[in-house]
Amino acid sequence: MYKSLVATFAGTALTVLASAAASAHGGEAGPVKQTASKPSGRPPAKSREKEGLPDWSGTWKVKGSMALISTENDRIFQRGLRDKAPFKPEWRALYEDEAARAEDQGNMQSAHPLVDSNTVYCHAGMPRLVATPFDYNFVPTRDLTFIIVGGPGGEPRFIYTDGRSFPAEDEMWPKFWGWSIGKWQGDTLVTETRGVKPGLWLDPTPMKLSDQAIVYERIRRLDAKTMEDRVRIVDPVAFTAPWEFVRHYEQIPAGEWADEHEICGGPEDRNPVVNGRVTVVLPKQPDGGAASPP
Amino acid sequence: MKNPITKAALLVCLAITAASGQAHHSFAMFDQEKVITLHGTVKEFQWANPHSWIQVMVPGEGAKVTEWSVEMSGPGGLARKGWKPRTLKQGDKVTIVIHPLRDGGPGGSFVSVVLPSGETMGGDQFRVAK
C-alpha cells in the first residue's frame, strides 16, 4: 500500500512543485525544495546562526473559528454559509455527503454517522494543526523549529531548517504530521510539508486531502501580540486550484500556565466512540432507572 | 409548581457554535439551536481531562428528580476563564443554561451558570468569539 502511495506521490510531486513555483505563495516565495527524490543531506545552517532567531516567545491562541475559513457566524455545519476548499466535483460531492453524515456523529439513530478523525485518533495532524482550540508555542532553533500544539501531551510539529531535503521517495510514508522542512526568509519561516496521512479532517468538517497534497506555509510574527500563518495547499488530485487561507494567533497573557492537552480515552473520558458514534455517558437516575429523556 | 425546566427553541444568533470548546470530539450530539435553563442542586463537579462535567439534580413534577450531565471544556480552558476546581461544590443551588442533547436525554453542553453568589460564569467559548 505504501509503495503504491509513494510511487504515485513521487510521480506527481515535481509537477506539483513546478506549478507551485509558477504561482509562488503570497507572491513572495516558492517551494522550499524541489528535490523530492534526493536522499537526505544535512548541510550546516550557519547563516541563520549569525542572523539570530526571531522572538516568537509566549503562548498563543488561534483567533476566530477553528474552521480553516471563517464564516460570518462560525456555524460550521450550516452548509451554504461556509467557504470550502476548491474541490474537484467528485471530491466536493464526497465532502457534501460526508458533511451530512458528520452532522449525525452524535446521533444514535443515524444509520451512517461519520466521526471526526480528530476524535478517532485523538490527534489532529496536518494541516488541521494550523487551527485548533489548543495552545501554541512557536520555538525556533537553529536547525529545527518546533510548533507545540496543545502544551504537555500535545502535538509537536518538527520543521527542519538545517538545509536537508525530503527523504528519497522510498523512504517516505504518510504521517499524521507529514514531513516538514523550512528555510528562513528574514524573520519569516517558509515551510513545506509533504506526506501527510490522507483522510484526516482539515477542520471540524470532513474536508480531506489526497495523499499528494503539499502544504506551504509562511509563518511570522506580525507584531507583539500577533503571529501569522499564511497557508497554501496544492493538491492536484482533490483541488482544481491551490487553496490559500491565513490564520492568526493572539498571545495569551504572560504568566499563564501551559494548558494540558485533552486526553482521549480512559475512565474520565465520558465521550467514547461507540459503534461509530460519539456518545455521552450518563449516570443512572436517582430512582435507579436508566437516563432517559425528561 | 413552577416548572424548573424552561425550554426555548431559539435561533442562536450568538457566536456559540458546534465548535465552541470543541477539541477532541465533536459537539454535534448537542442541539446548538436550542437552549435549556436548569434550576437545580449540584451533585458533583468533575474537574477532569478531557472534559469537565457538572452533575446537577433537577426537581421535576411531583417528587421526581432527574440528574443532568452538563459537559464543559477541559480544565485548562476553564481556568483561563476564571474557573477553579472548587468553583462549584456539592449542594450549591445553581441555574445552568445548556444546549441539550439531540436525543432528549438529560444532558447538554455548558453555556453559563449562575452561582449561589449571584455571579454568572460562562464557559470556554471565547475561542470562537467574533
Which alpha helices (H) appear in B1-130, and where do they start and end?
75-80
The predicted-structure confidence for B57-109, as pLDDT tens digits, reads as follows 999 888 899 999 999 988 888 988 889 999 999 999 999 999 999 888 999 99
Strands (E), B5-79: 5-9, 34-46, 53-59, 65-71
Query: What pLDDT, on a 0 to 100 scale, did the predictor assign at position A85?
Result: 83
In a domain, A171, yes or no: yes
Q: Is the peptide bond before A127 cis (omega within 30 degrees of 0)?
A: yes
The CATH number assigned to the domain holding A91 equals: 2.40.128.20
Across the interface, which of A64, A280, A286 has its CB nearest the CB of B69? A280
Query: What pLDDT, on a 0 to 100 scale, did the predictor assign at position B37?
Result: 97
Residues of B in contact with A132 (CB under 8 A): 23
- What is the mean predicted confidence (pLDDT) over B22-33? 75
Q: Kindly tell me if the per-residue pLDDT of A56 is higher than 70.
A: yes
Residue of A81, A205, A270, A273 to mutate for B, most B C-beta atoms under 10 A: A270
Q: Check CB contact under 8 Å for B71 and A280.
A: yes
Place of cell 523550512: A182
Q: Exposed (0-12), middle (13-18) or buried (19+): which is A112, by Cβ within 10 Å?
A: exposed
- What is the mean predicted confidence (pLDDT) over A234-255? 92
Q: Per-residue confidence at A162, pLDDT binned at 50, 70, 90?
A: very high
Q: Check CB contact under 8 Å for A269 and B77.
A: no
In a domain, A48, yes or no: no
Q: Check CB contact under 8 Å for B127 and A292.
A: no
Q: Check CB contact under 8 Å for A102 and B49.
A: no
Residue boundaries of the structural domains of chain B: 36-122
Q: Kindly tell me if the per-residue pLDDT of A192 is higher than 80.
A: yes
Nearest residue of B to residue A100, measured between CA atoms: B28
Q: Does A263 touch chain B (CB under 8 A)?
A: yes
In a domain, A271, yes or no: no
The β-bridge relationship of strands B93-100 and B107-114 is: antiparallel
CA distance A91 to chain B (A): 22
In a domain, A178, yes or no: yes
CA distance B42 to chain A (A): 14
Query: What pLDDT, on a 0 to 100 scale, did the predictor assign at position A68?
Result: 64
What's the alpha-carbon Rg for chain B, to the nearest Å? 14
Q: Tell me the residue type at B6.
A: T
Q: Kindly tell me if the per-residue pLDDT of A80 is higher than 70.
A: no
Using an 8 Å Cβ cutoff, are A152 and A160 in contact?
A: no
- Reported residue count of chain A is 294
Residue A6's φ and ψ, nearest 5 degrees, are -65, -40
Cβ contacts below 8 Å, chain A against chain B, sum to 156
- What is the mean predicted confidence (pLDDT) over B50-54? 93
Query: What pLDDT, on a 0 to 100 scale, did the predictor assign at position A25?
Result: 43
Nearest residue of A to residue B67, measured between CA atoms: A285
Angle at A213 between CA A209 and CA A215, to 5 degrees: 105
- Domain B36-122, second-level architecture: Beta Barrel (2.40)
- Rounded Cα distance between A33 and A92, Å, is 30
In a domain, A257, yes or no: no
The predicted-structure confidence for A269-287, as pLDDT tens digits, reads as follows 888 877 777 888 898 888 7
Closest CA to A229 of A153, A141, A157, A122: A157
Which of A37-51, A151-165, A203-217, B43-57 is predicted with the least confidence, judged by mean pLDDT? A37-51
**Which residues, in sequence order, are bridge partners of residue A221?**
A227
Q: Per-residue confidence at A179, pLDDT binned at 50, 70, 90?
A: very high
In a domain, A247, yes or no: yes
Query: What pLDDT, on a 0 to 100 scale, did the predictor assign at position A291?
Result: 66
Query: What pLDDT, on a 0 to 100 scale, did the predictor assign at position A8?
Result: 41
Nearest residue of B to residue A264, measured between CA atoms: B50
Query: What pLDDT, on a 0 to 100 scale, did the predictor assign at position A32?
Result: 55
CA separation, residue A2 to residues A6, A45, A179, A180, A215 (Å): 6, 32, 15, 19, 20
Query: What pLDDT, on a 0 to 100 scale, did the predictor assign at position B1?
Result: 40
Q: Check CB contact under 8 Å for B105 and A115.
A: no
The β-bridge relationship of strands B65-71 and B107-114 is: parallel
Range of the domain at A75: 2-17+53-251
In a domain, A215, yes or no: yes
**pTM greater than 0.90:** no
In a domain, A273, yes or no: no
Residues of A in contact with B24 (CB under 8 A): 118-119, 122, 262, 264, 271
Residues of A in contact with B60 (CB under 8 A): 294
Q: Check CB contact under 8 Å for B128 and A74.
A: yes
CA separation, residue A168 to residues A4, A12, A195, B72 (Å): 15, 14, 12, 46
Q: Does A252 touch chain B (CB under 8 A)?
A: yes
Q: What is the residue-averaged pLDDT of chain A?
A: 79
Report ipTM (2 d.p.): 0.71
Domain count, chain A: 1
Which of A22-36, A82-96, A123-137, B59-73 is predicted with the least confidence, judged by mean pLDDT? A22-36
